Amino acid sequence: MLSLSKRRIITSTLKFRYRGTRRVKWWLKDENLIPVAQSVVAAIKDITNQTGPSNVEIIKWRKLKIVFRIEDSGDVSKSFIVKAYLLSRFKHRLKYRRRGLNEVANLIRAERRGINTPDVYGYGRINDIFGLVTVSIIIMEDLCGRSAIDELMQTRPQDECSRMLISTVSLFSKLYRGACNLFDMNGGSVMLCEHALDSEAFLVDLERADFYNRPSVEVLMFEAGYFARSCRNWVSTEAIDQWLTELLSAVSINGNGEIEKAKERFNYYFGTDLSRKERLRIR
C-alpha cells in the first residue's frame, strides 16, 4: 500500500485507478491515458530486453533509472517523459517508496505551492510474483524545447550563460516561498528553453526534497550555493554575485544585516561539500 500521506496527495490528483495485468497497477489523471500507460509498460520491457522500441527516445539510462521520451500512439504530435526506476535488488524493492513514489508526491506538492514543474500524468508499479515492486514509473509532461541549464551552458558564450543564470531567479524565489528544500539542487535539475533564454525555468528532479511550513533563508542559501557551484565553470564570479543580489531582492531580503548574513551562508554552501545526512539537517 502507499503510505497514507503520499496516497492522499497522489490519489487527489491521479484519480483514475487502472490495472493493466495482475502485476501492473496505475494511478492516472484520467482514463484517456490508458493507452499511454500500456505503451510505457511495453516500452520498458523492450528497452530492458534491448529490442529498441521505435516510438521511444532514451534520454538517460543508469543502473537503477531509465528516462525516456515516448510518443502518444494516438497522437504522434504529443509525447511524454517517463522515468522508470528498476528495482532489481531485494533491498531496493523493500524501499521502493524512495524511488518514484516520493518524486510523484513531491512534484504534485511543488506544483500546488507555485513552483514550476512538469505536470504528472501517471504513477505506475510493476510487481513480482511476491507482490514486491520491481519497476516504479512516472509519466510526466514533456517540456519540449527545454534542456538542462548545465547542458546549455556548455555550448554557449559566457554572456549568454550569465543571462541563463539570471533567468533562474524567479524559480528560486518560488522555491523559497514554497518552503521547498531540494537536497540535490544542480544544473541538471533546472530546465530552460534553448531558444528563449529569458523564459521561465522549470524544476524537473524532485526525488529528494522536503517541504516545510514556512520559508527558510538558510534553505534558500543552501539551494542557491549548491546550484551556483554547478554553474561556476561557465559564469564569472561577478555574474554569480549579481544573480545572488537579484535573488535576495526578489525574496525581500533588503536590510544590510540580513543581506550580509545571507551572503555569508551562501558562500559557506558554495564552498563546502556536504554529505547527504548534513543536507537533510538543513532547516
Which one-letter amino acid corresponds to residue 105?
A
> Confidence class of residue 48 from pLDDT cuts 50, 70 and 90?
confident
Higher pLDDT, 74 or 256: 256
> For 252-270, what is the mean pLDDT?
96
Q: Which three cell numbers stand for residue 154?
A: 556548455
Q: With 0-12 CB in 10 A as exposed, 13-18 as middle and 19+ as buried, what is 220? A: buried
CB 42 within 8 A of CB 146: no
Residue 13: count of CB within 10 angstroms of its CB: 20
| pLDDT beyond 50 at 156 | yes
**In this predicted structure, which of 4-18, 67-81, 86-100, 183-197 has the lowest mean pLDDT?**
86-100
* Bridge partners for 80 per DSSP: 70, 141
* Bridge partners for 140 per DSSP: 81, 120
Fold of 4-141: Phosphorylase Kinase; domain 1 (3.30.200)
Percent with pLDDT over 70 in the chain? 93
Cα torsion angle, 234, 240, 246, 249, sign: positive
| pLDDT beyond 50 at 1 | no
Cα separation, 20 vs 180, whole angstroms: 34
Mean pLDDT of the chain: 90
Could you tell me the residue ranges of all domains in the chain? 4-141, 146-280
> For 186-215, what is the mean pLDDT?
91
Q: What are the backbone angles phi and psi of residue 216, rounded to the nearest 5°?
A: -130, 125
| pLDDT beyond 90 at 198 | no
Specify the CATH class of 146-280 in words: mainly alpha
Contacts of residue 265, defined as CB under 8 A and 6 or more positions apart, other chains included, come to: 217, 218, 221, 222, 225
| pLDDT beyond 80 at 90 | no
| pLDDT beyond 70 at 259 | yes
End-to-end alpha-carbon separation of the chain, Å? 30
State residue 96's pLDDT score: 61
- Residue 226's closest CA among 185, 198, 268? 185
**In this predicted structure, which of 27-36, 124-133, 173-182, 249-258 has the lowest mean pLDDT?**
124-133
Which one-letter amino acid corresponds to residue 101?
L
pTM of the complete model: 0.90
Cα-to-chain-centroid distance, residue 127: 24
**In this predicted structure, which of 71-85, 100-114, 126-140 has the lowest mean pLDDT?**
71-85
Cα separation, 96 vs 275, whole angstroms: 22
DSSP helix/strand/coil, 182 = strand
**In this predicted structure, which of 58-72, 89-103, 184-198, 264-278 has the lowest mean pLDDT?**
89-103
Q: How would you list the strands of the sheet with 146-148, edge to edge?
A: 146-148, 190-193, 202-203
Cα separation, 101 vs 3, whole angstroms: 9
> For 146-171, what is the mean pLDDT?
95
